[in-house]
Amino acid sequence: MAVPVFVRSLIFTIVAPCTVAGWVPYWLARSGLDRLMFGKAPSATLTDSLGFVLIVIGASIYLWCTYDFTFIGRGTPAIFDPPKRLVIRGLYNYMRNPMYVGIISVVLGQVFIFGSPTVTVYAIVLAILFSSLVIAYEEPTLRRKFGIDYIDYCQRVNRWLPKV
């Protein structure tokens, strides 16, 4: 019996984004690496509210995109179980990679909450990895899979910043 696509999306979300954007930054901030690498321990600051807002916005972006991938694209955010149809509505109407922007937003929210240099470095490395993945793998794969529709979409919509 095949596992429904929404269940696959839920499982992937719990395993991958919740780990990458939730557990890893928390662990980095609480592990003592800040003291070892930067000579200071993380501390909560007055920017906690901004951090919370970034987390809520980022998680909302991710969930909205996952919904569109699951129910419009008929696939999941997982690279090994991608949407069958090109998703260019919702947030994808404004930028090509809102899901990654949402995940980075969640991590940046934790940078503000924890005040952790290690989590800051992690956010930068994560953004570089996401950008590399998009440029080296996802875009060529989508061009092959969806052809002219994807090429037209790329001409209309920016990779990272919303086009208004």
Tell me: pLDDT of 120 over 80.
Answer: yes
Q: How confident is the model at residue 17 (pLDDT cuts 50, 70, 90)?
A: very high
Count of alpha carbons within 13 angstroms of residue 20, beta-carbon side? 21
Backbone angles phi, psi at 159, to 5 degrees: -70, -50
Q: Quote the CA–CA distance of 164 and 150 in Å, as a whole number.
A: 19
Residue 162 domain flag: no
Q: Is residue 64 part of a domain?
A: yes
pLDDT at 54 (0 to 100): 97
Domain range holding 26? 5-156
DSSP classification of residue 93: G
In this prediction, residue 48 carries a pLDDT of 84
User: How many Å apart are CA 39 and CA 55, to the nearest integer?
Assistant: 27
Whole-structure pTM over 0.95, yes or no?
no
Question: pLDDT per residue over 56-101, tens digit each?
Answer: 999 999 999 999 999 999 999 999 999 999 999 999 999 999 999 9
Residue 46 has pLDDT above 90, yes or no: no
- Residue 45: what pLDDT? 67
Cα angle 86, 61, 127 (rounded to 5 degrees) comes to 85
Would you state the pLDDT for residue 128? 98
| Residue 161 resides in a domain | no
Q: Would you say 111 and 119 are in contact if contact means Cβ atoms under 8 Å apart? A: yes
Q: Is 1 exposed, middle or buried (0-12, 13-18, 19+ CB in 10 A)?
A: exposed
Number of domains in the chain: 1
Q: Rounded distance, CA 130 to CA 124, Å?
A: 10
Cα–Cα dist 99/43, whole Å: 28
Please report, for the domain that includes residue 59, its CATH number: 1.20.120.1630
